[in-house]
């Protein structure tokens, strides 16, 4: 509670030194990356050091090496960011099977419930104008769209940029401006899967620069949510950046994003609003190692990647930037979470979070503006299960699972059920289905490598016996404990018989007990799938002559293999 | 050859902007770490970000993310640094078995041959005064000592700080000032293995500050080789730093070193000689993962560690610093090697490397002072075998080996031959023998982890099928090829049948052929062991009453398990 008390003071301080804006309220700019890993930035140790703008952003702002997502998959992570609540509370999970990651493919029936209060809805009360640029992922059916949930503007798509599809079995993904579609990926917005060329990041950059400039003129505070997706497979970059990275196409995409962020920050400075704009850079989940190295990033020294609750799946690169407000070149050991961006943004806007529901995000402004450290646990969920918890430097795994033997060892993709394949590929970000994957069947002498390369492996090259398991392993009575300071890679479980284990678990057990006891799960939104709800005839399709005929409705439980 | 032509120009530029020194020649300061890994610095992505002084050194100087050692073990690496030559040329290798790492334990008969020309010997011609502080490791018998090979001063020890020993079966390691011992570790220079407390880094720091200050007064150019060892197991830190790191004792040692380096650089500035002093920071080999996490560091995202020719064994943190000469905040993609410090130092001193022998080190001054990129291969040796080669962003493994099944799977150390155990432990940096290792026999349900934890594992938690092998695997006909830009962790071998493989190997094969064809191995110095040659009665022991009686000579071939 004492944390809340700090707020008015800190806010006054922030605002007094602040703005040219009429309202006195800071603009809010969240730069959310897609499948970018902790280790993809120079400042986080990427050996090629190809992110000069992000590294400079860190040197002018505050770096958070202990920042997490709320879920190792995109849709739930994004729903958590915008609601300040764990996916198990806001409904972005499934109960179809135990501890399964779920998201919002085109077949999904559900989406963000009306009962949830999203950040832009709340910011309206303080006069903010909100725009989302890029991937929404909180439901593609019209009732779930951004403009139904508080955003004033939208440029982007409701789903991932998978494709191209034939518009018969599956429609191509629409791209929206505000309430109506203006085209489809691969038709009107080109992505060349062979070369990796697409100019989408340039379009998203221009949208951001235009919005910022318009808002500066109108002198209304803004919330811009820049949720771009060039680092999500199929990875892309525009012509100018293709072939420029030492890291291949993935690196080209990172370089273009880095360059774009440099331009956005520069524009804030040129418009003289940088001292009145709070900027936060992070990612939705860990790098998709299944797509690496061609189409996936790096989680640095952390274990495994996207889809898992190991550090590689959930620890994110994070930088806060606000010249004049945030001291330059600082590193904060504050544990943070994407859900905190909800509460912190409200706090900076002088608003209180809703009091009628549990909010998991905390107000980070004392950490960001005054260098304080706030004690708090991090909960690592996979679907409906709390897999792990971090308290201080310790992390306790209550459940471990990488992925199933069935998925891990599938030798050739055409041997498995195509529906399950498509789901697997899309949700993992694998490129097997996009048609750009290289055959991996020609490495003589390394049969096991060949097999697992063709299967789904969330932990390539990593194997911690008893930890990176292919069966779901329960450890609720005797959790696997790691010291993330000494052992960030989760390689050395602390001995159960040590006094260290006993002392730490005595602190962790009651916190977990309290968390579970008071947890009221929301209604799961990601259980049902139906090909009839796909993007056949999105709003605006008539004007473009791009409406397609949906098949007959046949709702069934979605299959979530991970 | 065109590289050499650049030298006079660049040197003139360097010197014209340079010094207050009478000679006009820059001082040379090499800060060589012991078993510190690429990933141990904040600037290289250590998540705790606890090296503010080294990170600042990088921001004021030039960072080299592609810097290598010449060998994944301490003695050969140090011999290579000081001679500019691969260990297979300067004799720091063994032919007792194929591809085995060897070093200079107390039993070693050999040492640096008189025929080798060391950097301080050559610098004398230009009037340099040279001092080594810390670990020598090029032979402990008197004829091999630093002052016999060009150094003017020495404070430190000839061997690692293992112990304590009983002075019966094994003598404690002596500490020297110049030509004579002044005490022994654990007797006169305390290291508390229980708490990890030792004030050695403070002593080494004071020695450095005193030497620098004296040289500044005398206005003679100096070469200081600061070869400290707090990060080599048994790891230590002084009281002030104990318990201050998020990373445990290893981190405490790193923090103390970071603090000390900050003080050394500050003293250069205070003495107004920073603009006339070339400083280079690096490490002798990769982090000893066998000792991690308590007594070993981190190789970041690189594969395996010390003792191996994977990136984790041989890629080193590296920073060049020379205010006014080296542009601040630059990153160089130049591939460098510790051997280059020999040639580069000579070049900065206006000297030519010896022309009567093959020198492997290149002059990096065009890269450091003018931002040029010089094409050159990196050869990865283990003992008498070229295991791998890097050319551009590609690395080809001609041989792979982590360590033997016998060593890897030994369940309990007392089951194996104690002589072989001692050698294993010392050379790996394992703490099993130092008496501070925790029992690892109490992790129910993780039998395999338990076994390998008790054995020797150079790649804990990492397993690349067909790459991290426990038998020596030959690939000379069809090398395993990796793209280190896309795949720094050596996880994804490039398909043999790809055109990329063909094109790259067409460039690599001739370079390797030429290298092998022109290689003239030196006489191996690390073949013979004899307990009679241990540090029983080092020079100066009489004055201290610390002479011990050597056993009867019984020379035999050393056993090198790795």
Q: Which residues of B touch A483 (CB under 8 A)?
A: 248, 293
Q: Which of A437, A434, A455, A403 is nearest to A560 (CA)?
A: A403
- Work out the widest C-alpha separation in chain A, in whole angstroms: 70
Nearest CA in chain B to A65: B47
Query: Which residue out of B443, B455, B474, B494 would a mutagenesis test of the A interface target, given it has the greatest number of A Cβ atoms within 10 Å?
Result: B443
Across the interface, whether the CB atoms of A246 and B393 are under 8 A apart is answered yes
Cβ-defined contact of A331 to B42 (cutoff 8 Å): yes
Q: Residue A510 has which token pair?
A: 């009651």
Q: Measured between alpha carbons, how far is A405 from A415 in angstroms, rounded to an integer?
A: 15
Ramachandran bin of B127, using left for φ above 0, alpha for ψ from -120 to 50, beta for the remaining angles: left
Closest chain B residue by Cα to residue A67: B47
Using 50 as the pLDDT threshold, list the residues of chain A that sit under it. Answer: 1-21, 411-421, 431-453
The predicted structure's pLDDT at residue A22: 54
Which of B48, B298, B497 minimises the CB distance to A442?
B497
State whether A461 and B464 contact (CB < 8 Å): yes
Return d(Cα A73, Cα B469) in angstroms, integer: 34
Q: Could you tell me where the DSSP H helices lie in B119-169?
A: 119-123
User: A234 preceded by cis ω (within 30°)?
Assistant: yes
pLDDT recorded at residue A198? 98
What ipTM was assigned to the predicted interfaces of this complex? 0.89
Q: How far is B34 from chain A (nearest CA, A)?
A: 19
Asked if residues A382 and A76 have their Cβ atoms less than 8 Å apart, the reply is: no
Cβ pair A86, A379 in contact under 8 A: yes
- First and final C-alpha spacing in chain A: 38
Residue among B300, B374, B303, B389 at smallest CA distance from B336: B374
B485 to chain A, closest Cα gap in Å: 5
Query: Do A465 and B486 make contact, defined as CB atoms within 8 angstroms?
Result: no
Q: How many CB pairs under 8 A join A and B?
A: 160
* H or E stretch at A468: none
Inspect the interface and report whether the beta carbons of A438 and B495 lie closer than 8 Å: yes
Provide, as residue numbers in chain A, all residues whose Cβ is less than 8 Å from the Cβ of B440: 495
Nearest to B443 among A250, A486, A496 (CB): A496
As a whole-number percent, the residues of chain A with pLDDT over 90 amount to 86
Does the annotation mark A137 as catalytic? yes
**Amino acid B20: pLDDT:** 37
CB A200: neighbour CB atoms within 10 A? 23
CA distance, residue B199 to nearest chain A CA (Å) = 22
Which residues of B are part of the catalytic machinery?
74, 137
Q: Which residue of B has its CA nearest to A315?
A: B47
| A423 and A157 Cβ atoms separated by less than 8 Å | no
Q: Out of A331, A489, A496, whose CB is closest to B442?
A: A496
pLDDT tens per residue across all 562 residues of chain B: 333 333 333 343 344 333 334 579 999 999 999 999 999 999 999 999 999 999 999 999 999 999 999 999 999 999 999 999 999 999 999 999 999 999 999 999 999 999 999 999 999 999 999 999 999 999 999 999 999 999 999 999 999 999 999 999 999 999 999 999 999 999 999 999 999 999 999 999 999 999 999 999 998 999 999 999 999 999 999 999 999 999 999 999 999 999 999 999 999 999 999 999 999 999 999 999 999 999 999 999 999 999 999 999 999 999 999 999 999 999 999 999 999 999 999 999 999 999 999 999 999 999 999 999 999 999 999 999 999 999 999 999 999 999 889 888 864 433 333 344 455 555 555 544 433 233 333 333 333 233 334 589 999 999 999 999 999 999 999 999 999 999 999 999 999 999 999 999 999 999 999 999 999 999 999 999 999 999 999 999 999 999 999 999 999 999 999 9
Question: Which residue among A10, A137, A140, A160 is the active-site one?
Answer: A137
How far B418 CA lies from chain A's nearest CA (Å)? Answer: 26
Residue of B38, B41, B47 for testing the chain A interface, max A β-carbons within 10 Å: B47
**Sheet architecture: strand order including A153-157:** A180-184, A174-177, A153-157, A129-135, A222-227, A27-33, A277-283, A319-321, A62-63, A330-331
- What residues in B contact A300, CB-CB < 8 Å? 45, 47, 300-301
Residue A438 CB neighbour total at 10 angstroms: 13
Selecting among A10, A12, A74, A541, the annotated active-site residue is A74
Q: In angstroms, what separates the C-alpha of A467 from chain B's closest C-alpha?
A: 9
- Token digits of residue A309: 């609750």
B298 neighbourhood in chain A, CB within 8 Å: 301, 488
Q: How far apart are CA B138 and CA B41, in angstroms?
A: 27
């Amino acid at each position: 509670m004492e944390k809340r008390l700090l707020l008015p003071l800190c806010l006054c301080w922030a605002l007094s030194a602040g703005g040219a804006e009429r309202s006195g309220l800071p603009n809010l700019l969240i730069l959310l990356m897609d499948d970018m890993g902790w280790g993809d930035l120079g400042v986080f140790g990427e050996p090629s050091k190809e992110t000069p703008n992000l590294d400079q952003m860190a040197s002018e702002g505050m770096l958070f090496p202990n920042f997490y997502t709320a879920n190792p998959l995109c849709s739930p992570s994004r729903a958590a960011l915008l609601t300040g609540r764990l996916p198990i509370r806001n409904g972005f999970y499934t109960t179809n099977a135990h501890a399964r990651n779920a998201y919002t493919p085109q077949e999904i029936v559900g989406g963000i419930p009306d009962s949830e209060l999203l950040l832009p809805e709340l910011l309206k009360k303080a006069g903010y104008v909100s725009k989302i640029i890029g991937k929404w992922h909180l439901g593609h059916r019209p009732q779930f769209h951004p403009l139904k949930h508080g955003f004033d503007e939208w440029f982007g798509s409701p789903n991932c940029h998978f494709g191209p599809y034939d518009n018969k079995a599956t429609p191509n993904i629409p791209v929206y401006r505000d309430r109506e579609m203006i085209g489809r990926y691969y038709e009107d917005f080109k992505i060349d899967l062979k070369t990796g060329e697409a100019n989408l990041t340039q379009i998203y950059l221009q949208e951001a620069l235009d919005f910022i400039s318009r808002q500066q003129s109108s002198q209304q505070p803004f919330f811009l949510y820049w949720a771009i997706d060039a680092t999500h497979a199929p990875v892309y970059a525009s012509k100018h950046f293709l072939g420029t990275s030492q890291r291949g196409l993935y690196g080209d995409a990172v370089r273009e994003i880095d360059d774009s962020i440099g331009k956005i920050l520069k524009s804030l400075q040129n418009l003289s609003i940088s001292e009145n704009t709070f900027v936060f850079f992070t990612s939705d989940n860990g790098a998709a190692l299944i797509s690496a190295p061609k189409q996936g990033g790096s989680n640095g020294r952390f274990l495994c990647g996207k889809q898992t609750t190991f550090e590689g799946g959930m620890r994110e690169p994070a930088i806060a930037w606000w010249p004049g407000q945030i001291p330059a070149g600082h590193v904060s050991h504050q544990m943070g979470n994407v859900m905190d961006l909800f509460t912190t943004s409200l706090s900076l806007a002088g608003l209180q979070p809703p009091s009628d529901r549990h909010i998991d995000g905390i107000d980070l402004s004392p950490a960001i503006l005054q260098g304080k450290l706030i004690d708090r646990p991090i909960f690592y969920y996979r679907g409906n299960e709390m897999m792990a918890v971090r308290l201080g430097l310790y992390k306790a795994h209550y459940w471990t699972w990488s992925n199933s033997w069935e998925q891990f060892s599938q030798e050739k993709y055409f041997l498995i059920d195509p529906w399950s394949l498509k789901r697997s590929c899309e949700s993992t970000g694998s490129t097997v289905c996009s048609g750009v994957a290289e055959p991996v069947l020609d490495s003589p002498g390394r049969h096991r490598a060949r097999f697992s390369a063709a299967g789904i492996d969330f932990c390539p090259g990593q194997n911690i016996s008893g930890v990176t398991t292919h069966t779901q392993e329960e450890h609720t009575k005797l959790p696997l404990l790691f010291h993330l300071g000494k052992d960030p890679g989760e390689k050395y479980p602390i001995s159960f018989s040590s006094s260290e284990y006993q002392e730490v678990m005595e602190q962790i057990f009651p916190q977990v007990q309290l968390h579970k006891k008071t947890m009221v799960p929301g209604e799961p939104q990601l259980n049902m799938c139906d090909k009839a709800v796909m993007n056949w005839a999105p709003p605006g399709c008539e004007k473009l002559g791009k409406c397609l005929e949906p098949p007959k409705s046949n709702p069934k439980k979605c299959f979530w293999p991970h």
